[in-house]
Amino acid sequence: MKFLFGGKGGVGKTTTAATAALYWAGRGKTLLVSTDPAHSLSDIFEMSVGGTETEIRPNLFALEIDPESAIHAYKEKIVQQFGRTLQEFHLNLEAYLESIEHNPGAYESAIFDEFAKHLLRNDYETIVFDTAPTGATLRLIFMPDYLNNWIQFLIQSRKGILKLRDMLTREKDPVIETLYQMKSQFEKIGRLLTSEETKFVLVLNPETLAFEETARTIRFLHRFNVPVGGLVVNRVVDDAFPYRGYLASQKRILETIQHKYNRIPQVQIPFLGDEVKGLDRLGQLLPFLEQLFH
């Protein structure tokens, strides 16, 4: 099972994802992966977590995707798959690879490569993703569709080049073979992201801006048949909260969420008053979050 925790920045995605990973680690080998450039797993677990899998406790491992390492791996992949083709067109390979480091599109493709690599893993029973704020995460999720269309265009273009060069007599063209392999992988990722095996869990605070962003995200996901596996309403204050206006606003938002999204599993996590760090504090959230998985 795969879980993607997303939402507006600052709503508690990392804390919630870490708690979910702790829950599933009690039921089997679990990996927690952070795709957010502003990594905070080390802070949450109060121990060093980096680009390699770190054991947090028995059955629970975590890692943070390192952008620099992702770019380096992406450049190596480009050389392996398309270096020969680039040289055929007398392109400066070194200059092209250098440009990748400063290309936002290439950066996102590199992060997607790492995300996809972990999404397709089957050596863990559960993989939980702590994702970047909503916009970046949605681009990550819908990149397979975009890249699949782009790959199809490249395949047709390559076939045209081969025809022009009278190279159709080749039994196999390595570039086209690579493009078809990439196309197959993107299709597999796309199917996985829209299957019951993957759950997209949205985290929000009971505040207007967070609710509105969540509502837009749900509409967007539904339009592309990506199932929303749950809503986590974080930092819910009780009636003793001194600001009555905030309480009234929170109550309206909570009622709207419960009514409008009654078909989506929902849980509420109370505001605990301070930062949640360490396994003991995360354990205090387990009784609330585990309701989402029953």
pLDDT in tens, the chain (294 residues): 999 998 888 899 999 999 999 999 999 999 999 988 777 898 899 999 988 899 999 999 999 987 777 676 666 666 665 555 555 544 455 655 565 565 556 667 777 878 888 999 999 999 999 987 666 667 767 666 666 665 665 556 656 555 545 554 455 655 666 666 667 777 787 888 888 888 999 999 999 999 999 999 999 888 878 889 999 999 998 877 778 888 899 999 999 999 999 999 999 999 887 778 889 899 999 999 988 887
Using CA atoms, how far apart are residues 125 and 142, in angstroms rounded to an integer? 24
Ramachandran angles phi, psi of 268, nearest 5°: -115, 135
Task: Kindly report the number of other CB atoms within 10 A of residue 131's CB atom.
Answer: 25
Q: 292, 264 in Cβ contact below 8 A? A: no
- The confidence score (pLDDT) of residue 250 equals 92
Using CA atoms, how far apart are residues 278 and 22, in angstroms rounded to an integer? 11
- The confidence score (pLDDT) of residue 90 equals 47
Q: 22, 233 in Cβ contact below 8 A? A: no
Q: 29, 157 in Cβ contact below 8 A? A: no
- Stated pTM of the model: 0.80
- The confidence score (pLDDT) of residue 278 equals 87
Torsion of CA 133, 98, 156, 177, to 10 degrees: -90
Using CA atoms, how far apart are residues 81 and 69, in angstroms rounded to an integer? 18
Ramachandran angles phi, psi of 273, nearest 5°: 95, -20
Using CA atoms, how far apart are residues 258 and 265, in angstroms rounded to an integer? 10
Using CA atoms, how far apart are residues 65 and 82, in angstroms rounded to an integer? 24
